Amino acid sequence: MIALRSPEETLVLVPHIVGYRPARQLVLCGLDQRVVDASGRRACMGPVVVVDCAAESVGEDHARFIAEVVGHHRVTKAVIVLYCDDLAQVEGTAAARLEHVHAMALQALAPAPDGFLASYAVDGTSFVRVDGSEATVRSLRELDSCQAAAELVYKGSSPLREPPSPEIEAKPEAERDAARGESARAERAERTPQAIAAQLAAVDALLACPDAGRPADRMAHARMCGRVSAALCNPDVRDRVLLYGIDPAVETPLAGVGEEELFSRLAAAAGRAPHIDRIRRVIALLEEVASYRVRGEHAALAAAGYLHWWSCTNSLAAKRVRQAARIDPGYPLAHLLLDVVSSGTMAPWYSALTAG
């Protein structure tokens, strides 16, 4: 856990939490840590909301939305940061609007002895507090020597300069052809217990591959991904992959589990914190499979969306689910998740462990 000695030190944290250095964006960064994942090493911090302000100035809608998020998640500690090109842009009306965002969020803040809400404007070199406190413009370099910055450097954390692309880049045509042929063969296979076991073994092999994105034999890897992509069209396979992703007690995708036991295990997992690193591995596999653009792409995308939602990254969940729905508008899992994500509903394990 990173120790913060003053509200402004949270400005050091924000790019590391978001994962990149924001620009022309309004960021709400909740700092409450209420849940630890199954590994005991990763704390779920948040909520984190990033609003693009490149084409639209901060206004009433932003203030209302930020306040709703703060209230819904019972936030007690947070910072609001407007990243801009120049602090001179945050004067007069613009400053008043940002102060209004702060005031509405403050009203929604849940009471806590150590709670706080601080709001800042930041450009490439300087920052200033914009919530009615001291309005002295200060250099960001002042924060380089703080303890939080030193701890982040020690941990090897390094935010990207630009936000990572949420798009899944398609594989080269030759590799897609190899995957397509294997996908067609897998599609013709009977859905027997033996076939499901073989398909799950292929999933297990991909999960065990340390360099899934850079395999030594690209064509063999493509064929295996094509096989898995077609297999994911079978809910019996897909749901076992999802169970492996969300339930830390499951060691491998379970081929021998019956439908009733599978449903029971999925229901039980709803009350337990997942292993976030495992979920990310399974998401990476599903998105790798989807990059071949063969039969089953929609199932891989929807399953990835489900696991993004389960790991509380709802924005990426929405992206993947919409991609799946564009390919197959009638796909049940995509249709269900669209409603869930659009309503702002969090994963059931998170809601259960943070209730009260």
342-349 long-range Cβ contacts below 8 angstroms, 24+ apart: 342/318, 344/72, 344/314, 346/312, 346/314, 347/309, 347/310, 347/311, 347/312, 348/270, 348/271, 349/246, 349/269, 349/270, 349/271, 349/272, 349/273, 349/274, 349/310
pLDDT for the residue numbered 204: 83
77-83 vs 116-122, strand pairing mode: parallel
Q: What is the mean pLDDT of residues 233-257?
A: 84
pLDDT tens, 90-148? 888 888 888 999 999 999 999 999 899 999 999 989 999 998 777 788 998 988 888 77
Asked if 91 and 217 sit in the same domain, the reply is no
pLDDT tens, 2-59? 667 778 888 888 888 888 888 889 999 998 888 888 888 777 778 899 998 887 888 8
Residue (of 172, 272, 154) closest to 225 by Cα position:
172
- The token pair that represents 16 in the structure block: 């590391």
Asked if 126 and 90 sit in the same domain, the reply is yes
- The token pair that represents 138 in the structure block: 């200060």
**Considering 154, 186, 206, which residue would you say is the last residue of a domain?**
154
**Considering 95, 122, 154, which residue would you say is the last residue of a domain?**
154
Q: Is 161 among the domain residues?
A: no
Asked if 32 and 112 sit in the same domain, the reply is yes
Asked if 267 and 134 sit in the same domain, the reply is no
- Give the count of domains, the chain: 2
**Considering 123, 154, 185, which residue would you say is the last residue of a domain?**
154
Q: Is 26 among the domain residues?
A: yes
Q: How confident is the model at residue 260 (pLDDT cuts 50, 70, 90)?
A: confident
Q: Is 321 among the domain residues?
A: yes
Task: Give the strand order in the sheet containing 138-139.
Answer: 43-52, 25-36, 77-83, 116-122, 126-129, 138-139
Task: Please state, in angstroms and as integers, the Cα–Cα distance from residue 136 to each residue in 90, 130, 281, 333, 343, following that order.
Answer: 13, 10, 45, 51, 40
Asked if 215 and 336 sit in the same domain, the reply is yes
Asked if 201 and 323 sit in the same domain, the reply is yes
Asked if 331 and 192 sit in the same domain, the reply is yes
Cα angle at 16 between 12 and 19, to 5 degrees? 145
Asked if 70 and 112 sit in the same domain, the reply is yes
Q: How confident is the model at residue 263 (pLDDT cuts 50, 70, 90)?
A: confident
pLDDT tens, 188-233? 777 777 888 888 888 888 887 755 556 678 899 999 999 999 999 9
Q: Is 299 among the domain residues?
A: yes
Q: Is 103 among the domain residues?
A: yes
Asked if 135 and 254 sit in the same domain, the reply is no
Q: Is 86 among the domain residues?
A: yes
Question: Which residues constitute the domain of residue 349?
Answer: 173-353
Asked if 120 and 193 sit in the same domain, the reply is no
CATH number at residue 142: 3.40.140
Asked if 272 and 334 sit in the same domain, the reply is yes
Q: Is 292 among the domain residues?
A: yes
- Kindly report whether the peptide bond that precedes residue 166 is cis, defined as omega within 30 degrees of 0: no
Asked if 148 and 267 sit in the same domain, the reply is no
Which amino acid would we find at residue 197? A
Q: Is 162 among the domain residues?
A: no
